[in-house]
Amino acid sequence: MAVGRKMDTMKTIRWGMIGCGDVTEVKSGPAFQKAEGSSLVACMRRNPALAEDYARRHQVPRWYAHADDLINDPEVDAVYIATPPSSHCEYAVACAQAGKPVYVEKPMAVTFAQCQQMIAACRSAGVPLFVAYYRRSLSRFLKIKELIDSGAIGQVRAVSVLLSQPPAPDELDPLNRSWRVLPEIAGGGRFVDMACHTLDFLDFTLGPICDVSGSASRLAGLYPAEDTVCATFVFESGVHGSGTWCFACSAATDWTEIIGSAGKIGFATFENRPIQVTDSSGTSLIEIAHPEHIQQPFIQTIVDELNGRGTCPCHGETGARTTRVIDQILARYRTHELEKRRHEGN
């Protein structure tokens, strides 16, 4: 039976999950059990003891230590890939070849080229590919889009992004360093891991970015990845944008402003702060709480699409656009780092 036909008639999507890290404990894992028409039936982690522990704590019927075993489980209908980015492409292609719809964590892959491989494999197999840019389904961010679409701040002219954080302890430990600052695993540093959320939401709200330039540095030199990034970009609509991301400072800042002809909207991508709307009448604050399991609304859209009841707002093509923008921002930095390593090797 064709995958599309199977999904149309299925009442409960039975999920298998590859990777049982921190993101799956509250943000995503339980949401597969709580979304309507969804069930998490299997999980996988290379450490068998940790896989078994996750399954026991989250009431998951089966666990595996090998991804292929989960992917080929006949009782798994769709697969959620929650591993670091370096393995997203490999696992997504394997899922596609097995005829299983794929839901992959963000960023979609280490490079745009890998994203294209994933898209091609899923298209060839006739299975859908979804990417975990879940802010596209959160009420707080949907409200921002609604305000902009309704003309609350007039015509959008410019965007300004600032995200700064001090280094985290696990990034400074050379013996047990977080994968998030290892370029060979993450594709870069925390810029890649975190900026993608803001860039994707801006794509969702203002349309695709078509012109990008950027610079990056290892100013503190505390780990192998870049720690400071600046970029300018232009959307297809003509809106201009700029961003600064610094992960080698003492103070934390998380603020994005969308500036229009009749006002502006400010918001935090990660912090739990109200939306700030400023127009000719003054400034107002809009408080909208996130759900307990922050990915649940987005997962519901995936389940609904697989059941033929709706549409998920982020597919492979959409997710790949953000990775392409990140590649363009880091292009000169990556070239410089590669040349430096070659020189040091001579």
Kindly report, residue by residue over 208-259, the tens digit of the pLDDT.
999 999 999 999 999 999 999 999 999 999 999 999 999 999 999 999 999 9
Spell out the alpha helix ranges (H) of the chain. 3-9, 29-34, 48-57, 67-71, 88-97, 112-125, 139-149, 169-172, 183-186, 190, 196-206, 296-306, 316-345
Average pLDDT over residues 286-300: 98
pLDDT at position 16: 98
Question: pLDDT, tens digit, for every residue of 9-39?
Answer: 558 999 999 999 999 999 999 999 999 999 9
Average pLDDT over residues 40-54: 98
Separation between Cα atoms, residue 77 and residue 331, nearest integer Å:
38
Average pLDDT over residues 138-164: 98
- Kindly report which listed range (9-18, 187-196, 217-226, 307-316) carries the lowest average pLDDT score: 9-18
Angle at 133 between CA 76 and CA 208, to 5 degrees: 130
pLDDT at position 5: 41
Beta pairing partners, 15: 40, 78
pLDDT at position 7: 45
- Ordered structural domains, the chain, with CATH: 3-133+296-314 (3.40.50.720), 139-289+324-345 (3.30.360.10)
- Kindly report which listed range (105-109, 208-212, 235-239, 335-339) carries the lowest average pLDDT score: 335-339
